Amino acid sequence: MATDNLLSGLLAGDTDPAAISGYTDHPPRMGFFTDTSVCIGCKACEVACKEWNHIPEDGLNFTGMSYDNTGGLGADTWRHVAFIEQRKPIAGQIAGVQHAEVGAPAVDDAGSELRWLMASDVCKHCTNAACLDVCPTGSLFRTEFGTVVVQEDICNGCGYCIPACPYGVIDQRKEDGRAWKCTLCYDRLQVGMEPACAKACPTDSIQFGPLEELRERAAQRVERLHEAGVTDAQLYGHDPNDGVGGDGAFFLLLDKPEVYGLPPDPVVTTRDLPSMWRHVGVAALTLVVGVAAAFAGGRRS
Amino acid sequence: MSTSDVTKEGIKGAQPGRDAMVGVVAGRHDGRRRHRGRGEQSMVPDATFSSYYGKPVLNAPIWKAPDIAGYFFLGGLSGAASVLGACASATGRPSLAKASKIGALVSIGLGMVGLVHDLGKPSRFVNMLRVFKPTSPMSVGSWALAGYGPAVGTAALTAVTGRLTRVGAVATGTAAAVGPFISAYTAALMCNTAVPSWHEAYREMPFVFVGSSATAAGGLGMIAVPVGESGPARNAAIFGAMLELAAAQKLTRRLGHPLAEPYQKGKSGALLKASEALTALGTVGGVLLGRRSRAAAAASGAALLAGSALSRFAIFEAGMVSANDPEHTVRPQRERVNVKSTGQ
């Protein structure tokens, strides 16, 4: 039983999701490291993902908010490039410096502080994945690579995974009723190819590889950026001790996560489920006692 | 690239071009501006939060209110009615027992129709019994329903026909044993999501749900049974109403700002207020007139049923509001992060 493995795995302090899910001989956990500091917002990842996975059109909408007309992740958008224009200087760019002492014309300092943030968002392939936990059909499953994938021939469109995801990733495809999301190109992984988005990324902002390796590389990258004066640079989803046990797809961001539409401290909802079941049990007993007492106190007929 | 902003008040932040000041004057000008800028910044309240163009962080549930909120109500009613029916059987009140058992069957039947109808692929509803997962209240609930449905059906049929009384007693007992779980587990189903106003309410929600369920089952008894025999139904309704109102009060007080707001304001808040008014009206009506007038008892019972149904629709709607509001997701998490980082 998967449940037995899950429990024994968790009790043993195991954090390898494939091993917890019962794979004995499996490849290393694979994932994405999306370094947004080198993202140029070209959206090649969005296009490559749609082409490879044959994803239908996700609405030719005009959001009117920025250069981003995709909006966010959903059933038909498995990579989403966020675009943020800010009145903040890029590191190393000293904005608003006046050179009045040498007679140079003064410039209104507010005008020269500008930066663009671009970040390609994707399913996080959580270590503790709420979508997978709550799926009642077993349609969502853990692959041997430690990723989380929907089996579309099983999904009955109950929709439970959608509000369970703390990142707003998975959603229902209206035309066919089922839930869809990034598979981390499970088909490509099985034949030793990297996912379509990472393959197409021209700046290597999307890096694919064994998660351990990516985490080391990311730690070095953020350190180098800090040395270069980019003090805003921070890793997101890299920590195995966070509320979802660490993400299989993690990020290097240049601002707070919520600026990119990411939750600052997501927690897998099923962490509280044991307590929820206890409250349900006590409430059910309360109902029995209350209704029974209604008879004990009411012998008036 | 251009770094100026085009605003309704004209162009701001444009390069000064030929009007640019030089020398000492420019420096002073610059200094004044900076000072004023800081003063303005300190006026900005601490209550801001960041988001991506105000877009929700979460994807909201795709569940349809008539199906799912309707099932929460109907399933709750059925579960509590099964307990009421069993107690009525045990204490020799055949008409209350029969009415409760029929009510339990009809409501769970309608509720399950709603559940199947809400699926994206209704033809695959049997996939619900493909695995058993304790981490999914929907999976546990599906298995519970698979046992509960036949038991309720048998209990109702034997009560109506008067045959197979021993089988009927076993079925009645089974339905009464599983029924409370059917009334309560839907709270865990709903709270076991990332929707902030639902998830953070998981401690009180099962009590709101079972209270509301008892109110509905009591209301049904008050409608279906002559006043002489509906005493326990009235008592059950009073118990349920008090439990629900107290639990809901505790819920909103603990959630605080901003997560309690969908329960207090807007369409969902108005629905919940209407629900509480109907529940209070039905309870008072039942206490004052329930013993004297059949019509008044039935009207009170109807108010209680409507109050119970509205309560589920209100709570359902509150979750939709919460899921679509980035502040609900971001603010509590940001506060948590800030506490963590200052604590170290």
Q: Per-residue pLDDT for A110 more than 50? A: no
Residues of A in contact with B138 (CB under 8 A): 134, 136, 158, 160
Q: How far apart are CA A68 and CA A41, in angstroms?
A: 9
Beta-carbon contacts below 8 Å between A and B:
312
How many domains are contained in chain B? 1
Q: Is residue A296 part of a domain?
A: yes
Q: How far apart are CA B68 and CA B54, in angstroms?
A: 28
> Chain A: residue nearest B329 by CA?
A263
Q: How do A30-35 and A79-86 pair as beta strands?
A: unpaired
- Cβ-contact B191, A276 below 8 angstroms: yes
- Cβ-contact B185, B144 below 8 angstroms: yes
Is the pLDDT higher at A91 or at B36?
A91
Q: How does residue B32 score in pLDDT terms, banded at 50, 70 and 90? A: very low
Domain range for residue A283?
273-301
Q: Which of A160, A168, A301 sits opposite B228 (nearest CB)?
A: A301
Residues A285 and A141 reside in one and the same domain: no
Query: What is the rounded end-to-end Cα distance, in angstroms, of chain B?
Result: 42
Q: How do A249-253 and A30-35 pair as beta strands?
A: parallel
Residues A133 and A67 reside in one and the same domain: yes
Q: How does residue A301 score in pLDDT terms, banded at 50, 70 and 90? A: very low
Query: B243 to chain A, minimum CA–CA distance in Å?
Result: 9
Q: Is residue B53 part of a domain?
A: no
**A264 near B CB under 8 A:** yes
Interface of A with B in 43-72 (CB under 8 A): 63, 65-66, 71-72
Contacts of residue A143, defined as CB under 8 A and 6 or more positions apart, other chains included, come to: A18, A149, A186, A189
Q: Is residue B151 part of a domain?
A: yes
DSSP structure string for A198-213: HHH-TTS-EEEEEHHH
Q: Which of A73, A93, A291 to mutate to test the interface with B (most CBs of B within 10 A)?
A: A291
> Which region among A41-45, B159-163, B192-196 has the lowest average model confidence (pLDDT)?
B159-163
Count of other CB atoms within 10 angstroms of residue B120:
19
Q: At what angle do helices B94-118 and B137-161 cross, to 10 degrees?
A: 140
Q: What is the pLDDT of residues B43-88, one digit of tens each?
A: 434 467 899 999 999 999 999 999 999 999 999 999 999 999 999 9
Q: What was the pLDDT predicted at A15?
A: 74
Q: How does residue B28 score in pLDDT terms, banded at 50, 70 and 90? A: very low
Q: Which of A286, A291, A300 sits opposite B231 (nearest CB)?
A: A300
Residues A200 and A71 reside in one and the same domain: yes
Sign, CA dihedral B88-B92-B93-B99, equals positive
- Cβ-contact A262, B50 below 8 angstroms: no
Strand segments, DSSP code E, in chain B are 5-7, 10-12
Strand order in the sheet with A206-210: A206-210, A30-35, A249-253, A234-236
Q: Is residue B21 part of a domain?
A: no
Q: What was the pLDDT predicted at B38?
A: 39
Q: Which of B119, B235, B323 sits opposite A157 (nearest CB)?
A: B119
**A119 near B CB under 8 A:** no
Q: Is residue B189 part of a domain?
A: yes
Kindly state the percentage of chain B with pLDDT values over 90: 81
| Assigned token pair, B241 | 């109403």
Q: What is the pLDDT of residues B245-294, one digit of tens each?
A: 999 999 999 999 899 999 999 999 999 999 999 999 999 999 999 889 99
ipTM of model: 0.89
Q: Is B90 exposed, middle or buried (0-12, 13-18, 19+ CB in 10 A)?
A: middle
Q: How far apart are CA A137 and CA B62, in angstroms?
A: 17
Q: How far apart are CA B48 and CA B64, in angstroms?
A: 33
Q: Is residue A8 part of a domain?
A: no
Q: Is residue B330 part of a domain?
A: no
| B265 DSSP 8-state letter | S
Query: B271 to chain A, minimum CA–CA distance in Å?
Result: 22
Query: A193 to chain B, minimum CA–CA distance in Å?
Result: 30
| B296 DSSP 8-state letter | H
Query: B63 to chain A, minimum CA–CA distance in Å?
Result: 7
Residues A199 and A282 reside in one and the same domain: no
- Which of B226, B310, B56 shows the shortest CA–CA distance to A169? B56
Residues A151 and A289 reside in one and the same domain: no
Token pair 């034949």 in the structure block, residue: A191
Contact A100 B194 (CB under 8 A): no
Residues A86 and A211 reside in one and the same domain: yes
Strand partners, A141: A149
Q: How far apart are CA A39 and CA A61, in angstroms?
A: 23
Q: How does residue B15 score in pLDDT terms, banded at 50, 70 and 90? A: low
**A166 near B CB under 8 A:** yes
Contact B119 A158 (CB under 8 A): yes
How many domains are contained in chain A? 2
Backbone angles phi, psi at A142, to 5 degrees: -95, 125
Q: Which of A106, A275, A291 sits opposite B214 (nearest CB)?
A: A291
Contact A108 B13 (CB under 8 A): yes
Q: What was the pLDDT predicted at A59?
A: 87
Helix (H, G, I), strand (E, B) or coil at A148: strand
Residues A179 and A281 reside in one and the same domain: no
| Assigned token pair, A201 | 């990324």
Q: What was the pLDDT predicted at B39?
A: 38
CA distances from A122 to A217, A245, A262, B89, B205 (A): 19, 17, 11, 57, 33
Residues A82 and A140 reside in one and the same domain: yes
Residues A34 and A142 reside in one and the same domain: yes
User: CATH no. for residue B117?
Assistant: 1.20.1630.10
CA distances from A200 to A51, A58, A147, A251 (A): 11, 20, 20, 18
Q: What is the pLDDT of residues A80-94, one digit of tens each?
A: 999 999 887 765 555
Count of other CB atoms within 10 angstroms of residue A40:
13
Q: How far apart are CA A137 and CA B129, in angstroms?
A: 7
Q: Is residue B197 part of a domain?
A: yes
Domain range for residue B145?
65-320
Residues A36 and A181 reside in one and the same domain: yes
| Assigned token pair, B65 | 């209110």
Q: Which of B5, B62, B68 to mutate to test the interface with A (most CBs of A within 10 A)?
A: B62
Q: What is the pLDDT of residues A178-224, one digit of tens each?
A: 999 999 999 999 999 999 999 999 999 999 999 999 999 999 999 99
Cα-Cα-Cα-Cα torsion A156, A174, B76, B95, nearest 10 degrees, comes to: -90
| Assigned token pair, A29 | 């956990």
Q: What is the pLDDT of residues A211-269, one digit of tens each?
A: 999 999 999 999 999 998 888 899 999 999 999 999 999 999 999 999 999 999 999 99
Q: Is residue B8 part of a domain?
A: no
The angle at the Cα of A118, spanning B56 to A262, to the nearest 5 degrees, equals 30
Is the pLDDT higher at B32 or at B164?
B164
Query: B332 to chain A, minimum CA–CA distance in Å?
Result: 9
**A193 near B CB under 8 A:** no
Q: Is residue A23 part of a domain?
A: no
Q: Is residue A218 part of a domain?
A: yes
Q: What is the pLDDT of residues A63-74, one digit of tens each?
A: 998 899 999 999
Q: Is residue B29 part of a domain?
A: no
Residues A66 and A214 reside in one and the same domain: yes
Count of other CB atoms within 10 angstroms of residue B8:
4
Cα-Cα-Cα-Cα torsion B207, B210, B212, B218, nearest 10 degrees, comes to: -140
Residues A70 and A164 reside in one and the same domain: yes
Q: Is residue A9 part of a domain?
A: no
Q: How far apart are CA B87 and CA A291, in angstroms?
A: 8
User: CATH no. for residue A221?
Assistant: 3.30.70.20
Helix and strand counts by DSSP (H, E) for chain B:
12, 2
Query: A192 to chain B, minimum CA–CA distance in Å?
Result: 31
Over chain B, what is the mean pLDDT?
90
